[in-house]
């Protein structure tokens, strides 16, 4: 029966085309690490042979040592920054999550309302479309004037950046719901609340979560911008401060820290997504994301 | 419970400057537990007529009564089966079937579990209860959709080309499946189709509609014995009915496709002059 065929095809998740003959090529683990290893190796060699000056681009081995001291404070390789990593990392992560939380949740609510009501759309959408096209970095001067120096402008900027992708994708999520589902639910007697809770929200959820993921990404971009300008703690501040003291090894360690924390946050959102959406993946080529 | 009365109903759609008259002066009575099929070329307004009874559209003039009361919007007394299967992709088969019963409007229609169980059994989907719609074949999906509508036990079943998206073999199996359900528990059924064989095979009465504007052209009593069997399709009586319906539908369809260089179908003209007068 065709249904059995479909089921077995689903059980063995389709692999991207390039992975087809993986038994004859690189083992899977190697496929993941080959690029980072190559980059690190090239970087180390370039530094060792003097292709680039060590104080401009310190080799990965030095970055690792400095990073280690930055976190533990045990070797003093990071000098005045020794052992400060956790404080900076926590400050940045906290700002990202607070800013993201208000920005994304307001964005989702606004986006849903725009998608659900033509009146709200006419009232909100033009304004949002204009505001959306102002780069969030252009808000920096005003946000400093309004909120002064400290956490407030950082959280404002991050929230503002997180708001738009969340809003746009929530609107899209509502709009792309199959009208037949809506009609079917109404035909069965669903009231407004049931329509919202049982048809519109679950139907829009995949798109909402896509927006949430984009918001999280933007939040990590903006936390660096905000910390360079407005605060004295956080990975962005560390990065900028170390730059001013010609400590490029610490700059690189801070950059990689931001990258890793951003990556971890993204995984968190993806995890949330796969916990909430067990149905959506079955129809995609990749089977995840 | 489940009689339908369509009285002098017209339906015009405004599209830019031109009004399109989808239905004009349509009268139709459907008795309780009668199986009626609407057949006609595309554009004859058969889906519009169904949507008016379902309550998704309101007539421009005239009235639609169900059990003597005018239709005000869709409701669980009139179950609709759509061509594009209306299953929630995030729910499993059994959750989809239970959906209607879990709504406030259908409280008190009975214990959810046994009803779902019975429908899973009767639709042959028991083994697939935890599957999601995307994991089902087209025929199974449509069976699940029919089950989800039957769960709320509507007195009337309105079906808009329910098997139109299925391959010919699956379609004929689904027709027998539908008849079997209907024989076991009779409901008023109005089924829209462009498949003439299907229209005759299923129906107590086949209504032929013509386009521009949509009108009822002829109503044909199908006096084939019940329960219907697949073999009846090659009986002389069936073939006679089919030829008769085909002739009318074909003649209408050809009118719509005027030969190259000829003026547009004259049938189009009245509705346009009418809108000019408005």
A140 pLDDT exceeds 60?
yes
> In chain B, which residue's Cα lies nearest the Cα of A277?
B90
Intervals of chain B under pLDDT 50:
261-278
Residue B152 to residue A190, Cβ atoms within 8 A: no
Instruction: Quickly tell me which residue has 């530094």 as its tokens.
Output: A47
Residue A189 to residue B76, Cβ atoms within 8 A: yes
A27 pLDDT exceeds 80?
yes
CATH code at B173?
3.40.50.300
pLDDT-above-70 percentage for chain A = 88
Count of beta carbons in the 10 Å neighbourhood of residue B224? 17
**Chain B closest-CA separation from residue A93 CA (Å):** 33
Strands B205-210 and B215-221, sheet pairing: antiparallel
**Chain B closest-CA separation from residue A102 CA (Å):** 28
| pLDDT at residue A284, as a whole number | 53
Number of structural domains in chain B: 1
Distance CA A231, CA A62 (A): 28
Instruction: Quickly tell me which residue has 């009689």 as its tokens.
Output: B3
**Chain A closest-CA separation from residue B260 CA (Å):** 37
Q: Work out the pLDDT band at A281, boundaries 50, 70, 90.
A: low
A102 pLDDT exceeds 60?
yes
B205 belongs to a structural domain? yes
| pLDDT at residue B276, as a whole number | 39
A277 chain-B contacts, CB cut-off 8 A: 90
Give the mean model confidence (pLDDT) for residues A88-117. 96
B204 belongs to a structural domain? yes
Two structure tokens written together for A37: 């290893």
Higher pLDDT, B44 or A22: B44
Residue A188 to residue B105, Cβ atoms within 8 A: yes
Residue A188 to residue B103, Cβ atoms within 8 A: yes
B93 chain-A contacts, CB cut-off 8 A: none
Angle made by CA atoms B16, B19, B25, in degrees to the nearest 5: 160
pLDDT tens-digit profile of A64-88?
999 999 999 899 888 899 999 999 9
| pLDDT at residue A198, as a whole number | 95
pLDDT tens-digit profile of A192-249?
999 999 999 999 999 999 999 999 999 999 999 999 988 889 999 999 999 999 999 9
Tell me which of A182, A188, A191, A285 to substitute to probe the interface with B (most B C-beta atoms closer than 10 Å): A188
Of A3, A188, A191, the CB nearest to B137: A3
Strands B188-193 and B18-30, sheet pairing: unpaired
B110 belongs to a structural domain? no
ipTM of this complex: 0.84
Taking the CA atoms of residue A254, residue A256, residue A261 and residue A265 in that order, the dihedral angle to the nearest 10 degrees is 140
**Chain A closest-CA separation from residue B166 CA (Å):** 14
pLDDT tens-digit profile of B13-46?
887 778 888 899 999 999 999 999 999 888 788 9
Residue A6 to residue B78, Cβ atoms within 8 A: no
- Give the burial class of A39: count Cβ atoms within 10 A of its Cβ; 0-12 exposed, 13-18 middle, 19 or more buried: exposed
DSSP E strand boundaries for B42-200: 61-66, 69-70, 78-81, 156-160, 188-193
B11 belongs to a structural domain? yes
A1 pLDDT exceeds 50?
no
A55 pLDDT exceeds 90?
no
Closest CA to B123 of B146, B107, B99: B146
| pLDDT at residue A24, as a whole number | 60
B58 belongs to a structural domain? yes
> Is the CB of A14 inside 8 Å of chain B's CB atoms?
no
Q: Which domain holds residue B73?
A: 4-77+154-257
B248 belongs to a structural domain? yes
**Chain A closest-CA separation from residue B76 CA (Å):** 5
* CA distances to A4, A7, A8, B82 from A284, in Å: 19, 15, 16, 25
Domains and CATH numbers, chain A: 26-81 (no CATH), 95-278 (1.10.3720.10)
> In chain B, which residue's Cα lies nearest the Cα of A201?
B90
Contact map slice: B 62-91 vs A, CB within 8 A: 73-76, 78-80, 82, 84-86, 88-91
A194 chain-B contacts, CB cut-off 8 A: 103-104
B148 belongs to a structural domain? no
Of B76, B80, B135, the CB nearest to A7: B135
Contact map slice: B 138-177 vs A, CB within 8 A: 140, 149, 152
B262 belongs to a structural domain? no
> In chain A, which residue's Cα lies nearest the Cα of B84?
A180
């Amino acid at each position: 029966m065709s249904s059995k065929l479909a089921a077995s095809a689903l059980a063995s998740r389709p692999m991207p085309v390039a992975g087809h003959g993986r038994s004859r090529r690189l083992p899977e683990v190697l496929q993941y690490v080959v690029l980072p290893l190559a980059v690190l190796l090239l970087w180390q060699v370039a530094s060792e042979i003097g292709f680039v000056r060590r104080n401009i681009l310190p080799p990965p081995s030095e970055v690792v040592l400095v990073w280690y001291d930055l976190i533990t404070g045990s070797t003093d390789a990071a000098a005045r920054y020794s052992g400060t990593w956790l404080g900076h990392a926590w400050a940045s992560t906290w700002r990202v999550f607070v800013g993201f939380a208000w920005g994304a949740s307001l964005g989702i609510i606004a986006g849903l309302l725009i998608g659900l009501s033509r009146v709200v759309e006419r009232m909100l959408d033009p304004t949002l479309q204009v505001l959306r096209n102002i780069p969030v970095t252009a808000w920096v001067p005003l946000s400093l004037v309004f909120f002064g120096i400290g956490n407030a402008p950082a959280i404002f900027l991050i929230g503002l950046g997180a708001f738009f992708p969340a809003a746009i994708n929530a609107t899209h999520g509502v709009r792309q719901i199959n009208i037949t589902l809506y009609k079917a639910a109404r035909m069965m007697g669903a009231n407004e609340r049931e329509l919202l809770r049982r048809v519109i929200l679950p139907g829009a959820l995949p798109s909402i979560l896509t927006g949430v993921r984009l918001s999280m990404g933007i939040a990590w971009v903006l936390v660096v911008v905000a910390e360079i300008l407005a605060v004295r703690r956080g990975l962005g501040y560390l990065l900028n401060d170390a730059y001013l003291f010609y400590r490029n090894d610490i700059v690189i360690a801070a950059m990689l820290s931001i990258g890793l924390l951003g990556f971890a946050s993204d995984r968190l959102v993806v995890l949330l997504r796969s916990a909430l959406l067990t149905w959506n993946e079955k129809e995609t080529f990749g089977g995840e994301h | 419970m489940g009689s339908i009365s369509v009285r002098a109903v017209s339906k015009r759609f405004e599209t830019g400057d031109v009004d399109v008259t989808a239905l004009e002066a349509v009268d139709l009575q459907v008795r309780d537990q009668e199986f009626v099929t609407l057949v006609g070329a595309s554009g004859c307004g058969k889906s519009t007529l169904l949507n008016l009874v379902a309550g998704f559209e309101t007539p421009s003039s005239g009235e639609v009564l169900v059990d003597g009361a005018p239709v005000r919007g869709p409701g669980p007394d009139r179950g609709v089966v759509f061509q594009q299967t209306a299953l929630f992709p995030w729910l499993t088969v059994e959750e989809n079937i239970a959906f209607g019963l879990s709504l406030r409007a259908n409280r008190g229609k009975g214990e959810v579990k046994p009803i779902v169980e019975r429908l899973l059994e009767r639709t042959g989907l028991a083994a697939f209860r935890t599957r999601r719609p995307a994991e089902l074949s087209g025929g199974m999906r449509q069976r699940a959709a029919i089950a989800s509508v039957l769960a709320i036990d509507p007195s009337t079943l309105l079906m808009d080309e329910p098997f139109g998206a299925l391959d010919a073999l699956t379609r004929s199996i689904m027709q027998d499946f539908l008849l079997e359900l209907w024989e076991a528990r009779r409901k008023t059924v109005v089924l829209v189709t462009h498949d003439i064989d299907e229209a005759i095979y299923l129906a107590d009465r086949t209504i032929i509609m013509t386009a521009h504007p949509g009108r009822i052209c002829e109503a044909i009593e199908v006096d084939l014995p019940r329960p219907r069997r697949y073999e009846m399709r090659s009986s002389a009586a069936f073939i006679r009915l089919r030829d008769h319906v085909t002739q009318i539908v074909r003649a209408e369809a050809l009118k719509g496709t005027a030969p190259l260089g000829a003026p547009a179908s004259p049938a189009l003209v009245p509705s346009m002059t009418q809108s000019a007068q408005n």
